[in-house]
């Protein structure tokens, strides 16, 4: 199921940065979403092999989106990212089913490491 990666962040600049890191390293981008609500719709529509999702977003936050995605697809692979290295949020997103966590500002090697780990 090489359907690429769904990039979710409310900041277009952050989505662009992540997509840039991924495409330069041979990963395909399945699509992008600006909030959790759109992410859930796109996940169901595109069935990406991985989702990289921001935690803090309008409408539906990343943690709620992970819970909903995992609810419909327990095999989903999600890597969370957030500028706030808040321990509680990291723990909550991992408990919700996220495979890994990246802290902003992104380090390209850390993003790639998380992607490789999540894709196993």
Domain coordinates in residue numbering, the chain: 35-83+90-120
pTM: 0.93
6 three-class SS: strand
Query: Using an 8 Å Cβ cutoff, are 7 and 18 in contact?
Result: yes
Torsion from C-alpha of 63, 103, 5, 43, nearest 10 degrees: 10
Please state, in angstroms and rounded to a whole number, the distance separating the CA atoms of residues 70 and 54.
16
| CATH superfamily for domain 35-83+90-120 | Response regulator (3.40.50.2300)
pLDDT by position in tens, the chain (length 120):
358 999 999 999 999 999 999 999 999 999 999 999 999 999 999 999 999 999 999 999 999 999 999 999 999 999 999 886 677 888 899 999 999 999 888 899 999 999 999 998
> Vertex 111, ends 10 and 12: CA angle to 5°?
20
Query: Using an 8 Å Cβ cutoff, are 76 and 97 in contact?
Result: yes
């Amino acid at each position: 199921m090489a359907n690429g990666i769904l990039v979710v962040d409310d900041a277009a600049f952050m989505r662009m940065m992540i997509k840039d890191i991924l495409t330069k390293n041979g990963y395909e981008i399945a699509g992008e979403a600006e909030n959790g609500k759109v992410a859930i719709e796109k996940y169901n529509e595109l069935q990406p092999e991985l989702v990289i999702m921001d935690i803090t977003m309008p409408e539906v936050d990343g943690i709620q989106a992970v819970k909903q995605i995992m609810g419909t697809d327990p095999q989903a692979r999600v890597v969370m990212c957030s500028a706030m290295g808040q321990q509680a949020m990291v723990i909550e997103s991992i408990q919700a089913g996220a495979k890994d966590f990246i802290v902003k500002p992104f380090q390209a090697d850390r993003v790639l490491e998380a992607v490789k780990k999540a894709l196993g």
